Chain A
């Protein structure tokens, strides 16, 4: 059997209205580049990036989804299995911010119960076109008990920080294997109950 080049695999998902910059956010993180031509994502694509956190090699498999309204019923079927979801809006587009509650509802309905969520207000380099104050983003994030960053894929602001923070938060919930035990003990079920007790506390 091939030797694993990583210790853990996290599956992340990017969602949000069409045109808020999900693909650019991902491209900045995975390839450290920015492309100004807008090509609407028609489907689901993913990128892989391996990061190191707390001495562990973590492979991030990040799924980029189509934001267009007509695809919503399909894209929600990809939520299940995601361990972290980044919900992106555009600070220069009020509509994309208003739709946040709708996207959050989608997560509630279709994602795993214990999914780690994060809110991103993208395009924060375009201060002159801003219509969504930072405080409003912070407020809605607080109401839902999730983390919030303002980001810019273009100016490379907070992108890496956002992904690493999300990965860290997932890592915290991940049951730690005893370093000297080769096999995972399924019967103890420690990991799952561990998450639940944390959720309920």
Chain B
């Protein structure tokens, strides 16, 4: 026998938030890929008769969130955590800004973790015993999950994950941590997030939210199963310092509106022709199309996108289908989303025209038809993912040139190296790089938190388009967006500024400033130029550290990871050596 948990709605106390666990979403369960056909048939019958063998029970979860602004706990948390008459069944306590020190930021290590965990542990409701199930922390964002001792045996599959949404989507000063678990038969995901600050930054907060939803993924125990995202749970409990503010309404009217509002909006795109064309695909610009698979047959049906011969995966790396497989009961349907996203690993070949946005998906129905779904599109070449050498040989914006020119440049470069295109003197550095650095030099030299604050994705799109088309004449977007666009440019280079072949000797000689300089002088000319140009710019930035709050350590951390890349995964020791290497160039100019 099994049970199905539900949580009662309780508005008595502001601090005890509860979520009404909906009757399990059958359609969603049926699309879960982990069942084979036999299991599916059983599951399908079980779901139909769910009411006969399940019963609902109410549980209470205490959700609390606290931005502690780097402080240590000074007084008891009991008035906060022990404020309900009855002891809650579970506690999920989230903290933000646990530790604001640089050590916490760079090495993700802080004594505050223990201090606040102990403070929470001491202040839980005295009428019950609790077990600490899981703790997860990303820099200053921490989530602690306690459960009443008697429920502990019904908790299973506990997993924790983190995702940073700071600059370059990497740094953990903003982002989210999450814990997922099964309680009886219900899957629950608790998220604690710290979103971008300031009222006017709602767009960035929305972007953070979307990023957290798409990038926070729990690995499954079975490695062949796709990872589980936040929204794939029966109940999602989201807490945190969200930084959204409602300024015009008082608390009671807001609550009333929440009660009235229907949050459910369902979109169904009917499918007529299984053929998709993605128009004007651009670097790092998500495009998606959806279609519905309806099972109008008499039996349950299983579908899967299958791998074509001689190909490693069911689709090209710039394409994904979600869900890639699933199960549809009689009369039910499933929405499948096809998503195109060109990143730094797929951009180089698309830029040069060596590959195109073209694929055929094979949608296989178990014991039935295979549908071919052609996916086509046109890709707009970009300076993102184009080599330094090619860009130095392009006098016009990338999209002003016929793609043939770029293709020839790339293939000549492959075979002949640096001396490939010598009819005209190449530019010293890519003009795109110059535009961004020059813009920052003129406008952002004193910008607070430059290279620390993430930019806006919408502005990145405008900056990329400007670099690639030459329109408008000057770069759009905020300083932070231009700064991130520059970092993304360096990150997307097919061959890093310090080419892979020079990487080992950079590590070996990282402690000697003169050796480091010598290595840089041996780089291909345009790479050397770019390196020196960037270092000179960063030294200018450091002269203004009183205003922009940068120091050479921060800049070395950020830029070393982009300029000195390894084709293998770097360990912490290696990373420190790359930082040491680049640090020489930040504290002194070339001798």
Residues of A within 8 A of B (CB): 42-46, 66, 70-71, 73-74, 76-77
Asked whether, in the complex, the Cβ of B308 is within 8 Å of the Cβ of A77, the reply is yes
A residues less than 8 Å from B370 (CB atoms)? 43-45
A residues less than 8 Å from B372 (CB atoms)? 42-44, 66, 71, 74
Tell me if B374 counts as interface (CB < 8 A to partner A).
yes
Which of A45, A46, A73 is in CB contact (< 8 Å) with B308?
Answer: A73
Tell me if B37 counts as interface (CB < 8 A to partner A).
no
A residues less than 8 Å from B48 (CB atoms)? none
* Majority secondary structure, B binding face: strand
Asked whether, in the complex, the Cβ of B362 is within 8 Å of the Cβ of A42, the reply is no
Q: How near does chain B come to A63, taking the closest CB pair, in angstroms? A: 9
Which of B274, B308, B309, B368 is in CB contact (< 8 Å) with A42?
Answer: B274
A-B contact count (CB 8 A): 33
Asked whether, in the complex, the Cβ of A74 is within 8 Å of the Cβ of B369, the reply is no
Asked whether, in the complex, the Cβ of A45 is within 8 Å of the Cβ of B369, the reply is yes
| Cα distance A31–B275 in the bound complex, in angstroms | 29
Residues of chain B from 271 to 293 with CB closer than 8 A to chain A in the complex = 274-275
Say yes or no: A70-B308 contact (C-beta < 8 A), given A43-B370, A44-B369, A45-B369.
Answer: no
Q: List 8 A-B contacts (CB under 8 A).
A: A42-B274, A42-B373, A43-B362, A43-B370, A66-B372, A70-B360, A74-B309, A74-B360
Q: How near does chain A come to B247, taking the closest CB pair, in angstroms? A: 54
Q: Mark B359-395, 1 if CB is under 8 A from A, else 0.
A: 0101100001111111000000000000000000000
Which of B309, B371, B373 is in CB contact (< 8 Å) with A77?
Answer: B309
| Cα distance A76–B360 in the bound complex, in angstroms | 14
Asked whether, in the complex, the Cβ of A43 is within 8 Å of the Cβ of B369, the reply is yes
**Which residue on chain B has the smallest CB distance to residue A77?**
B309
**Which residue on chain A has the smallest CB distance to residue B274?**
A42
Q: Return the 8 tightest CB-CB contacts between A and B, nearest first.
A: A44-B370, A77-B309, A43-B371, A43-B372, A45-B369, A43-B370, A42-B372, A71-B372
Q: Mark B327-366, 1 if CB is under 8 A from A, else 0.
A: 0000000000000000000000000000000001011000
Among the interface residues B360, B363, B368, B372, which one has the most CB atoms of the partner chain A within 10 A? B372
Asked whether, in the complex, the Cβ of B360 is within 8 Å of the Cβ of A71, the reply is yes
A residues less than 8 Å from B368 (CB atoms)? 45
| Cα distance A42–B272 in the bound complex, in angstroms | 13
B residues less than 8 Å from A66 (CB atoms)? 372
| Cα distance A42–B275 in the bound complex, in angstroms | 10
Additional pairs, 6, CB under 8 Å, beyond known A45-B370, A71-B360, A71-B372: A43-B369, A43-B371, A44-B370, A46-B369, A74-B308, A77-B308
Q: How near does chain A come to B437, taking the closest CB pair, in angstroms? A: 45
A residues less than 8 Å from B371 (CB atoms)? 42-43
A residues less than 8 Å from B373 (CB atoms)? 42
| Cα distance A43–B363 in the bound complex, in angstroms | 9
Asked whether, in the complex, the Cβ of A74 is within 8 Å of the Cβ of B374, the reply is no
Residues of chain B from 240 to 299 with CB closer than 8 A to chain A in the complex = 274-275
| Cα distance A71–B373 in the bound complex, in angstroms | 10
Asked whether, in the complex, the Cβ of B362 is within 8 Å of the Cβ of A74, the reply is yes
B residues less than 8 Å from A44 (CB atoms)? 369-370, 372
| Cα distance A191–B286 in the bound complex, in angstroms | 56
B residues less than 8 Å from A43 (CB atoms)? 362-363, 369-372
B residues less than 8 Å from A46 (CB atoms)? 369
Q: How near does chain A come to B311, taking the closest CB pair, in angstroms? A: 10
| Cα distance A189–B374 in the bound complex, in angstroms | 43
Asked whether, in the complex, the Cβ of A70 is within 8 Å of the Cβ of B369, the reply is no
Q: How near does chain B come to A19, taking the closest CB pair, in angstroms? A: 16
| Cα distance A66–B371 in the bound complex, in angstroms | 10
**Which residue on chain B has the smallest CB distance to residue A78?**
B370
| Cα distance A70–B362 in the bound complex, in angstroms | 13
B residues less than 8 Å from A76 (CB atoms)? 309
A residues less than 8 Å from B360 (CB atoms)? 70-71, 74
| Cα distance A65–B372 in the bound complex, in angstroms | 10
| Cα distance A162–B40 in the bound complex, in angstroms | 40
Among the interface residues A71, A73, A74, which one has the most CB atoms of the partner chain B within 10 A? A74
